[in-house]
Amino acid sequence: MELTGRVIYAGESGYEDARLNFNTRFAASPFAIVFCQSVTDVINAVNWAQTSGIPVRVRSGRHSYEAFSVADDALIIDLNDMEKIQVDRSKARATIQAGAELVPIYETLNAQGVTIPGGSCATVGITGLTLGGGYGLLARWKGLTCDNLQSVEMVTAAGKAIVASPSQNPDLFWALRGGGGGNFGIVTSLTYQVHSIDKVTVYQLSWNWSEIERVMQFWQTWAPETDDRHTSILKLVSEAVGSVFVVGQFVGTETELRQVLAPLLTLAPKSVSIETLPYIEAVYAFAGLKPDYPKRLAHWHGSQTKFKNASDYVARPLSAAGTMTVINFLKQAPSKNVVLQFDSYGGAIAKIAPDATAFPHRQVNFNIQYQTYWTKPQDQAAHLNWVRNFRAAMQPHVTGGCYVNYCDRDLKNWQTAYYGSNWQKLKQVKQRVDPGNFFRFEQSVPKQT
């Protein structure tokens, strides 16, 4: 049995680039990376690793916050070269190979007048995003990325290509919608329902930082309850930056959006920008791209991005004490490179029962993302401590749930934080599809004991 595909062993030319994760806080040294070109290459890699006893990690877009898709001395089975996207407009569906990245997907679908709801960052991989849920600026309109999944092709630990769908391996299909990447097998392609889209209206409002308490309190009761076509994000930054921002997207006209925004506009923002534009231009704007961006962006090349992010879910507006905790931590931020982002839930996300898919966080108001970035090694400890202490101080005010796609090595109770009461069923599925626990990493689903 041999490894097939584009194989790069430790020490060979290209290895330094091939081993990198988007978050350069981590620098694992795998045994080799196999960039698979076909399902056969994936099967060969699984069989080779099973025979040789070398542990594997599965990788697509390399954006795991905690670098769970790489490990020292492991074989990295990488799908990023498999990136074909096929749209069947007549059946309103698209089949996407596992290695495709988000913006090329949106562009290909947009050329046919359709899209899927997904995340904002251009180079996030579709597979990691979908397996953990997939939140973005169409989420309150059409749900999470995983909610739009129709079927998945996957290679098992036994080296067999199988399908998971409502009629084939339905328990696995349930687990692949929110059960997290890297747990059950190697996904090779995913088929989604697609939605017609043309123009959208986007906005950005800002206030002086001194207005933070008023804006925060108002946004929490307003954003999760608005029209389902509207998804809103509150961006809180350090006091030193000096402003607070609300950004969002609405699938409709400016006139309609202005009605949605009217209550928020009574808080008299210092700047208001509202624009109706083709959907793909909104994608570029939220990804921080210009339309002529190079096809393969690969953010991590030459980037020194080191970061620590974490998350919490909130089910009711923060109390006065919770609000003051947020304000105090933003006042004491270790640098200007911190963001506290509130992502609005409700809408289509909440119309699915918490146990209907493996993604349990359906009945919440919003997700909090704690984000810190730095480049110099001497700045690391202060940023890590800020996130850790901030999260700890927020625990009386949050649900205890965390988003698996914002994975966090610091979580002690990650099993229930990520999966809630779906944890038991996930272990049963694992027992059935991977009884030898071949696919494992620091926070992987174990088999039922």
Ligand X SMILES: Cc1cc2nc3c(=O)[nH]c(=O)nc-3n(C[C@H](O)[C@H](O)[C@H](O)COP(=O)(O)OP(=O)(O)OC[C@H]3O[C@@H](n4cnc5c(N)ncnc54)[C@H](O)[C@@H]3O)c2cc1C
Give the residues lining the site for ligand X (CB under 6 A).
22, 57-65, 68-69, 79, 98, 119-121, 124-125, 127-129, 131-136, 181-182, 186-187, 405
Nearest distance in Å: CB 392, ligand X: 22
Q: From residue 326, how far is each of 208, 223, 236, 400 by CA, in Å?
A: 16, 18, 9, 17
68 vs 218 by CB, closer to ligand X? 68
Nearest distance in Å: CB 25, ligand X: 11
187 vs 251 by CB, closer to ligand X? 187
74 vs 330 by CB, closer to ligand X? 74
209 vs 306 by CB, closer to ligand X? 306
Nearest distance in Å: CB 253, ligand X: 25
Amino acid code (one letter) for 356: A
CB neighbours (10 Å) of residue 263?
Answer: 12
Nearest distance in Å: CB 57, ligand X: 6
79 vs 257 by CB, closer to ligand X? 79
Nearest distance in Å: CB 268, ligand X: 30
Backbone angles phi, psi at 247, to 5 degrees: -125, 160
Q: Give the CA angle between residues 288, 294, 295 to the nearest 5°.
A: 105
182 vs 322 by CB, closer to ligand X? 182
Nearest distance in Å: CB 102, ligand X: 8
Alpha carbon distance 299, 284 (integer Å) = 15
Nearest distance in Å: CB 286, ligand X: 9
Nearest distance in Å: CB 211, ligand X: 26
133 vs 269 by CB, closer to ligand X? 133
61 vs 104 by CB, closer to ligand X? 61
